[in-house]
């Protein structure tokens, strides 16, 4: 008997803090934590107490006896992680009372109510106790950021993270100001005048481009836009996307690429039971797409998708998933890497299975995974008709694998091309920006100017700090690191008290921001959506137009 961590693991590592035998690894503070795809339970040391289960915000931990067939393979994956590892000493733990002993209560603004912002707010309240008061700003009345607008609709467990945050919404000294856009309604300078510190959690709403011709053709769009569309982000609206098919190409092979590929060929009846935006459910149910080609420039070991997502894809009902065999050979350096990493081995084994399995038949929709293919041009004159790809070869140089284009180009016909090669933080006027990395310029969370000097009282967390990597819970540790800097700056007297009283900001908002609402406003919208969902056997029916959202929250459009 053991417990098993499954697909929706969010890496927040809340489970590790309660494990009495330290069997959940890699734990925060250990070398592998930062790079971990997910966490794993050691079946040899787990005592099956189940204490970790309620700590998990996304319901990822199950007793092995109760694993549904779709998650069975996670038992092996968990065990595989511990191959060759011996359990070390159980580290001492401590539970500390909040401590932020200053002569005044710090007033802190958090800009952005996504996971990074909410983790930062909660960390401030937990470590600061009554020494900190936090206002969380968001331009939308919907907290959760990418939990609502990024997580795939067929991953409902992952969305449970929102409820874990909601349980803290009523905390003392925590306030929400929804409907305020920092940058237009308020400037960073104005916020700085009203608060001791401002923590920016503005995410990475911009998509990186590949920089090849044809990217701006109709039918070519960033996967991020497609995600926003099917998740009902009000900025995406109910735009028309040509899904007439029969093939779509996804460039890039991270988890977002797998999400969009999967949703493009999923049974529409299944999607209709999720919280996918209604316009997307309708469009996908009329879709003519029969094949999605997922293209990666590099090899199978360098692919950005996680083992958990790949192995879940293997079990997608009614869909054939095929890995093209040509790209799967390994160099000696790669063989060595594989030998040292059981999780990578599990991933590679899955790809091997997908390369040799017998497809269910031509009638079934299909996802093809192609490696070592470099996109050179998106083809078409008035709209996308295909993609030109060039084969890459790899070889070891000084023990490391390198890639270069070789051989002939080939053309793949497609009516839809989705590029999924990364995100950028959109520069915010008045905040230093690091154009190379596409993030707010910062030193481990302290916002710094061109010369690397900290901007007093200005901090950043999440994707705007570290770039677009990690999963929901990664932001907890990211936020905690920034908050630690904020606390030490506060203790060292490096934070200037607000220049203006709270009333000054209230007056400014009253004048500029007619939509201002709070958690109660969101609760009204949330209830409205859930009630609408209940009527049609869906978790919720999302409201996707801003005027409707403001109306339901009780504010003017």
Partner 1 sequence: MTARTAIRTCPLCEATCGLVLTLYGDRVLRTAGDERDVFSEGFMCPKGATLGELHHDPDWHRRPLIRHRGRLVEASWDEAFELAGRLVRTVVEQSGPAAMAAYFGNPISHNLGGLLYAPTYLKALGSPRLFTASSLDQRPKDLVNALLYGDRFTLAVPDLDRTDFLVVVGANPVESNGSLATAPGWPRRLRAIRERGGRLVVVDPVRTRTAELADEHIRPRVASDAALLASMVNVLFDEGLVRLGRLGEFVTGVESVGRALVDLTPERVADFTGVPARSVRDLTRRFAAAERACVYGRIGTTATEFGTLTSWLVDLLNILTGNLDRAGGAMFPLPACGSVNTRGRPRFGPPPRLGRFSSRVRGLPERFGELPTSCLAEEIDTPGDGRLRGLLLVSGNPVVSAPNSARTARALASLDALVAVDPYVNDSTRFAHVVLPPPGPLQRSHYDVHFSTWAVRNVANYSPAVLDLDPGQPQEWQIMCRLAAAFEGRGASEADIDRRHAESTARAAVSDAHSPVSGRTVEELMAAVAPRVGPERLLDLMIRSGPYGDGFGRRPGGLTLAVLEDRPHGVDLGPLRPRLPEVLRTTTGTVVLDPPLVVDDLPRLRAAVTSGPPGGLVLVGRRHVRSNNSWMGNVPSLMTGRPRSTLWLNPADAERLGVGTGDLVAVATRVSTVHAPAEVTERVPAGVVSLPHGWLHEPDGVQLVTARARPGVNSNRLADELVLDVPSGNAVLNGIPVRVTALPADEH
Residues near partner 1, by CB under 8 A? 1, 14, 17-18, 20-22, 45, 47-51, 54-55, 65, 87-90, 92-97, 105, 133, 163, 166-173, 175
Burial (CB < 10 A; 0-12, 13-18, 19+), residue 101, is exposed
Phi-psi region of 47 (alpha: psi -120 to 50; beta: other; left: phi over 0): alpha
Contacts for 61-67 with beta carbons within 8 Å, 24 or more apart? 61/3, 61/4, 61/5, 61/6, 61/15, 62/3, 62/4, 62/6, 63/1, 63/2, 63/3, 63/4, 64/1, 64/2, 64/3, 64/4, 65/1, 67/4, 67/6
Burial (CB < 10 A; 0-12, 13-18, 19+), residue 276, is buried
How far is it, in rounded angstroms, from Cα 312 to Cα 100?
44
DSSP 68-99: -GGGTHHHHHHHHHTTT----PPPP-------
**Residue 169: CB minimum distance to partner 1, A:** 7
Burial (CB < 10 A; 0-12, 13-18, 19+), residue 557, is exposed
Q: Closest CB to partner 1 among 92 and 211?
A: 92
Strands 291-295 and 320-323, by their bridges, are unpaired
Kindly report the number of other CB atoms within 10 A of residue 340's CB atom.
Answer: 10
Q: Closest CB to partner 1 among 65 and 383?
A: 65
**Residue 87: CB minimum distance to partner 1, A:** 6
Name beta bridge partners: 323. 369
What does the DSSP 8-state code read for residue 318? T
**Residue 167: CB minimum distance to partner 1, A:** 4
**Residue 164: CB minimum distance to partner 1, A:** 9
For 32, 48, 53, 87, the CA distances from 20, given in Å and listed in that order, are 20, 10, 13, 13
**Residue 92: CB minimum distance to partner 1, A:** 7
Q: Closest CB to partner 1 among 169 and 546?
A: 169
Q: Closest CB to partner 1 among 36 and 133?
A: 133
In b/e form, how buried is each residue of 122-159, taking b as 16+ CB within 10 angstroms?
A: bbbbebbbebbbbbbbbbbbbbbbbbbbbbbbbbbbbb
Burial (CB < 10 A; 0-12, 13-18, 19+), residue 172, is exposed
Q: Closest CB to partner 1 among 259 and 518?
A: 518
Tell me the CB-side half-sphere exposure of residue 81, using CA atoms within 13 A: 26
Nearest alpha carbon to residue 212 among 301, 297, 326, 304:
297
Q: Closest CB to partner 1 among 88 and 399?
A: 88
How far is it, in rounded angstroms, from Cα 483 to Cα 487?
6
**Residue 170: CB minimum distance to partner 1, A:** 5
**Residue 506: CB minimum distance to partner 1, A:** 13
Q: Closest CB to partner 1 among 163 and 506?
A: 163
Q: Closest CB to partner 1 among 19 and 293?
A: 19
Q: Closest CB to partner 1 among 409 and 520?
A: 520
**Residue 172: CB minimum distance to partner 1, A:** 4
Q: Closest CB to partner 1 among 9 and 227?
A: 9
**Residue 540: CB minimum distance to partner 1, A:** 17
Residues with Cβ within 8 Å of 397's Cβ and at least 6 positions away in sequence, in order, are none
């Amino acid at each position: 008997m053991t417990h098993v961590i499954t697909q929706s693991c969010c890496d927040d590592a809340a489970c590790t803090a309660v494990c009495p035998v330290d069997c959940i690894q890699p734990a925060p503070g250990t070398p592998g934590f930062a790079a971990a795809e997910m966490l794993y339970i050691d079946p040899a040391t787990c005592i099956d107490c189940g204490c970790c289960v309620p700590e998990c915000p996304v319901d990822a931990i199950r007793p092995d006896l109760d694993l549904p067939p779709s998650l069975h393979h996670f038992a092996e994956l968990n065990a595989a992680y511990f191959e060759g590892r011996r359990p070390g000493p159980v580290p001492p733990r401590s539970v500390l009372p909040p401590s932020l002993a200053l002569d005044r209560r710090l007033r802190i603004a958090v800009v952005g109510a996504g996971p990074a912002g909410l983790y930062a707010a909660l960390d401030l309240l937990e470590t600061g106790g009554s020494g900190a008061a936090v206002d969380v700003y968001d331009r939308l009345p919907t907290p959760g950021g990418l939990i609502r607008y990024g997580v795939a609709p067929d991953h409902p467990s992952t969305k449970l993270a929102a409820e874990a945050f909601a349980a803290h919404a009523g905390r003392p000294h925590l306030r929400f100001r929804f409907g305020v856009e920092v940058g237009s309604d308020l400037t960073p300078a104005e916020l700085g005048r009203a608060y001791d510190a401002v923590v920016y959690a503005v995410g990475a709403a911009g998509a990186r481009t590949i920089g090849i011709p044809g990217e701006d053709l109709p039918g070519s769009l960033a996967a991020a836009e497609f995600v926003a569309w099917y998740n009902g982000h009000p900025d995406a609206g109910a735009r028309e996307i040509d899904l007439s098919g029969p093939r779509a190409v996804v460039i890039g092979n991270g988890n977002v690429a797998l999400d969009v590929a999967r949703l493009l060929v999923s049974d529409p009846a299944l999607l209709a039971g999720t919280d996918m935006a209604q316009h997307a459910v309708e469009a996908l149910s009329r879709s003519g797409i029969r094949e999605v080609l997922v293209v990666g420039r590099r090899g199978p070991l360098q692919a950005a998708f996680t083992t958990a997502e790949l192995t879940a894809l293997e079990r997608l009902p009614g869909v054939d998933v095929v890995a093209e065999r040509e790209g799967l050979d390994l160099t000696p350096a790669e063989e060595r890497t594989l030998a040292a990493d059981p999780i990578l081995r599990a991933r590679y084994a899955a790809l091997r299975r997908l390369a040799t399995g017998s497809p269910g038949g031509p009638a079934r929709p299909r996802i093809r995974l192609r490696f070592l293919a470099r996109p050179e041009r998106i083809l078409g004159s008035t709209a996308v008709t295909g993609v030109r790809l060039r084969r890459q070869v790899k070889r070891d140089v000084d023990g490391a694998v390198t890639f270069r284009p070789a051989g002939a180009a080939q053309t793949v016909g497609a009516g839809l091309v989705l590029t999924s090669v990364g995100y950028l933080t959109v520069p915010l006027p008045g905040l230093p920006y690091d154009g190379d990395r596409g993030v707010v310029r910062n030193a481990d969370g302290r916002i710094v100017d061109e010369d690397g000097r900290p901007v007093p009282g200005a901090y950043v967390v999440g994707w705007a700090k570290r770039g677009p990597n990690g999963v929901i819970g990664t932001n907890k540790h990211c936020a905690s690191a920034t908050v630690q800097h904020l606390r030490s700056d506060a203790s060292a007297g490096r934070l200037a008290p607000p220049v203006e009283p709270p009333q000054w900001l209230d007056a400014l908002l009253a004048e500029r921001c007619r939509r201002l609402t709070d958690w109660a406003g969101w609760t009204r919208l949330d209830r409205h959506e859930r009630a609408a969902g209940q009527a049609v056997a869906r978790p919720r029916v999302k409201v996707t137009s801003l005027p409707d959202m403001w109306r339901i929250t009780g504010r003017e459009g």
